[in-house]
């Protein structure tokens, strides 16, 4: 956690020009990729024996998705995966990070494995390998089987155990062709937005009573690592979301609020995995089960650590006079929280309203190196991207260019980063926003499902070809 850097809005650009200079050179074995998730692109929710997910149930509730849409079809990747693999091949990436849909493989979350669901991932992986692209599956990207959710979901320890059994089933079928595995994607967001604030599926508003969902996801991660190792996996990571926390001022109230926010969003999910302990004893006492024994499982050695980075957060003390919910980036925050995120001024913003701060990525990576030292394995940036409209998307080009330069700067200063994945290959169902936000390098016409590469796709293709020339 740091104090916000002094800056004047007038001293910073209000728009993002196209970059003119080539990117700096990355190592020849640096892994370049793009990311997606099953719930956001696959569609085909009623095909191949797929079960219902928590997001299916959430989207069916009136008012939950801002534009009233759902993911029953979305980009129809389930049927158009060959077309999408061809886009990946033309782009020139070395890896594709996708997620396996738990309800497609184990429709009820536990018990009978659906062979037809695994057949789809068989076909996808074979197509990727034929195109010379490394498959990097994520086992869980928020699509909890609804049958498990109705029984308590990640608030229950049993879900972690069911997740490990599912991981074993996936590895048994696909492990002969998969070298890199990711267990979980962003357990912080599912805990805080899904169980804490009710903004995402499953839509519960438990505030700090949501903490068992964090612990059980991390336990599920550790159990899944054990299952994957037992199946011979040699390259395993997790994809946690992280960003610098900036205190709004040097006052004690603001720095304490920022420290707590940093603990909740960053250290709560990194410390157990990397250090084998929770960052605060009081917090650990709020968690269920034999926590000390569970931490030994959670801290299974990893081959690399995935970081999803989008933005820093400016945090101050809450207003003691506030009585109603405050809106922050479209999220309703109740007044009883012990911190209050503030708007970061003086930087360009994405269509989501997020500040574009590439240098905060350098700060984040170097702070992780300092905080975790020898306990930190090599890092992979498993997500980095932005929401902008339009096919001639110069803002996205500038965003990617700036963040790749910031990443290179961190590496030059000693951060051990082995790969970078853009979010996302294509426009998709953006969770509670529906189809209102576009993160893709490829434009999707949701009426016709036509794929159109954007200017950012062409820019990245040229950049990767330049990197390949060495």
Q: How confident is the model at residue 14 (pLDDT cuts 50, 70, 90)?
A: very low
Model-level pTM? 0.96
Task: Show me where the domains of the chain are located.
Answer: 2-10+29-349
pLDDT in tens, 31-50: 999 999 999 999 999 999 99
pLDDT in tens, 412-454: 999 999 999 999 999 999 999 999 999 999 999 999 999 999 9
**pLDDT at residue 463 above 80?**
yes
96 assigned to a ligand binding site = no
- Is domain 2-10+29-349 in CATH 3.30.365.10, yes or no? no
Which letter does DSSP use for residue 336 in this model? Answer: T
Q: What CA–CA distance (Å, rounded) separates 428 from 41? A: 6
Q: How far is CA 220 from the centre of its chain?
A: 17
pLDDT in tens, 219-252: 999 999 999 999 999 999 999 999 999 999 999 9
141 assigned to a ligand binding site = yes
* Residue 20: predicted pLDDT: 66
Q: What CA–CA distance (Å, rounded) separates 26 from 31? A: 10
* Residue 327: predicted pLDDT: 76
**pLDDT at residue 461 above 60?**
yes
- Output the average pLDDT for the chain: 95
Choice among 130-134, 251-255, 277-281, 377-381 with the minimum mean pLDDT: 277-281
Residues serving a catalytic function are 186, 383
Phi, psi of 43 (to 5 degrees): 65, -150
Q: How confident is the model at residue 133 (pLDDT cuts 50, 70, 90)?
A: very high
* Residue 385: predicted pLDDT: 98
185 assigned to a ligand binding site = yes
Pairing of strands 331-333, 326-328: antiparallel
**C-alpha pair distances (Å), 273 with each of 187, 297, 304:** 12, 9, 11
Q: How far is CA 428 from the centre of its chain?
A: 14
DSSP 6-57: P--GGGS-SS-PPP-SPPPPPPTT-EEEEE--HHHH---TTSTTPPPBHHHH
Q: For residue 9, how many C-alpha atoms fall within 13 Å in the half-sphere facing its CB?
A: 8
* Residue 5: predicted pLDDT: 59
226 assigned to a ligand binding site = no
40 assigned to a ligand binding site = yes
**pLDDT at residue 13 above 50?**
no
Tokens matching residue 406? 């910031």
What's the whole-number mean pLDDT along residues 334-347?
Answer: 95
pLDDT in tens, 159-173: 999 999 999 999 999
Closest Cα partner for 407 from 370, 438, 382, 377?
A: 382
Choice among 223-237, 277-291, 398-412 with the minimum mean pLDDT: 277-291
């Amino acid at each position: 956690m740091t104090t916000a850097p002094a800056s004047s809005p007038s001293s910073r650009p209000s728009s993002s020009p196209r970059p003119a200079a080539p990117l700096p050179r990355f190592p020849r074995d640096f892994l370049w990729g793009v990311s997606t998730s099953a719930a956001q692109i696959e569609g085909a929710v009623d095909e191949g024996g797929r079960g219902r997910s928590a997001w299916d149930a959430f989207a069916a509730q009136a008012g939950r998705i801002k534009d009233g849409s759902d993911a029953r079809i979305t980009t129809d990747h389930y049927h158009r995966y060959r077309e999408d693999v061809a886009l990946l091949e033309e782009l020139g990436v070395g890896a594709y990070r996708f997620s396996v849909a738990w309800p497609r493989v184990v429709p009820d979350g536990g018990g009978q494995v659906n062979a037809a669901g695994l057949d789809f991932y068989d076909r996808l992986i074979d197509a990727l390998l034929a195109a010379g692209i490394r498959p990097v599956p994520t086992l869980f990207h928020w699509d909890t089987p609804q049958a498990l959710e109705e029984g308590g979901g990640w608030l229950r320890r049993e879900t972690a155990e069911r997740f490990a059994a599912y991981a074993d089933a996936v590895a048994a079928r696909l492990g002969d062709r998969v070298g890199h595995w990711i267990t979980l994607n962003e357990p912080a967001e599912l805990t805080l937005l899904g169980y804490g604030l009710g903004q995402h599926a499953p839509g519960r508003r438990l505030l700090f009573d949501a903490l068992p969902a964090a612990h059980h996801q991390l336990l599920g991660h550790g159990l899944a690592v054990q299952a994957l190792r037992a199946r011979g996996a040699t390259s395993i990571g997790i994809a946690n979301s992280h960003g610098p926390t900036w205190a709004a001022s040097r006052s004690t109230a603001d720095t304490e609020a920022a420290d707590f926010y940093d603990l909740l969003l960053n250290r709560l999910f990194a410390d157990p995995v990397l250090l084998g302990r929770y960052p605060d004893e009081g917090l650990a006492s709020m968690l269920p089960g034999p926590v000390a024994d569970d931490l030994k499982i959670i801290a299974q050695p990893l081959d690399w650590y995935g970081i999803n980075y989008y933005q820093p957060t400016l945090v101050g003390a809450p207003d003691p006079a506030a009585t109603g919910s405050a809106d922050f980036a479209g999220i309703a925050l109740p007044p009883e929280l012990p911190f209050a995120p503030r708007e970061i001024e003086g930087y360009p913003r994405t269509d989501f309203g997020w500040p574009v701060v590439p240098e905060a990525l350098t700060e984040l990576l170097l702070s992780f190196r300092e905080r975790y030292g020898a306990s930190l394995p090599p890092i992979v940036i498993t997500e980095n991207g932005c929401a902008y409209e339009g096919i001639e998307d110069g803002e996205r080009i500038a965003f990617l260019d700036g963040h790749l330069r910031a990443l290179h700067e961190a590496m030059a200063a000693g951060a051990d980063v082995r790969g970078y994945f853009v979010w996302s290959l294509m426009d998709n169902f953006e969770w509670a926003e529906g189809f209102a936000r576009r993160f893709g390098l490829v434009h999707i016409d949701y009426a016709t499902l036509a794929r159109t590469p954007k200017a950012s796709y062409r820019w990245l293709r040229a950049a990767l070809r330049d990197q390949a020339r060495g």
